[in-house]
Structure 1
């Protein structure tokens, strides 16, 4: 399966894993936003302004996570950093949940965060041999590669 805007990019297993985990997180976050709406509609909240503000903020994060999941499904490079950052921020949340006696939830949050970070970091990018979607080159001849591999042999894309 390839991205319609960059025919040389292929969706790999790590892209799928990162996308599915990010989608799972988006669904969970959007569920919390729906919970705030439920609280406002039923009158279960004492502070309507706070519930509305929290619900709107959570909704923004849910939509952003959906955008990340979509980016992963198209083998884009841009979701990597926000995915790692989001999940790194979830690790202290997991610790806080553990400290408050919600260990099963904390373990679930931590496992999903660690798995998402692993999938995002292991997803190949343009410099990992997938090719540049703009030029079709495989970036093997860029100046940031060493001329040799340290043993006197020509590195990738080099002629000795």
Structure 2
């Protein structure tokens, strides 16, 4: 379905599409279906997951989605840099126990960033402590002065 929102072409679909009408001319694609808030593979600049549980059960206009995305990019870029910095700070044995990392809720919380660390079942408390300290050091090395605003959420993979 094609609509206009504030004079911008918007393509609506239940499912996400890799390409849509006007993609290379600045149109936008809004979709639902994908309930996974951690699904960053679905992010493209002009594509938005508007599944109700992903956007907080609140209707949004396109300009609101664009504004939210811009603030999310700052958090997502910081998250990527912090996680990339872990490789030089953790042993190979501990790194192998991290199944993957993600940022829930598009990385958007009022005043902090959440890094979700999915771990294998055999991680002990000392290893979790090493991961936590390494995340903090990565943030500080990036000049993120208030590393206390980074919340780490450990889960079993």
- TM beyond 0.5: no
Choose 1 or 2 for highest CA Rg. 1
Higher relative contact order (CA 8 A, sep 6+): 1
Q: TM-score, normalised by structure 2?
A: 0.30
Bigger proportion of residues as helix: 1
Q: TM-score, normalised by structure 1?
A: 0.29
Bigger proportion of residues as strand: 2
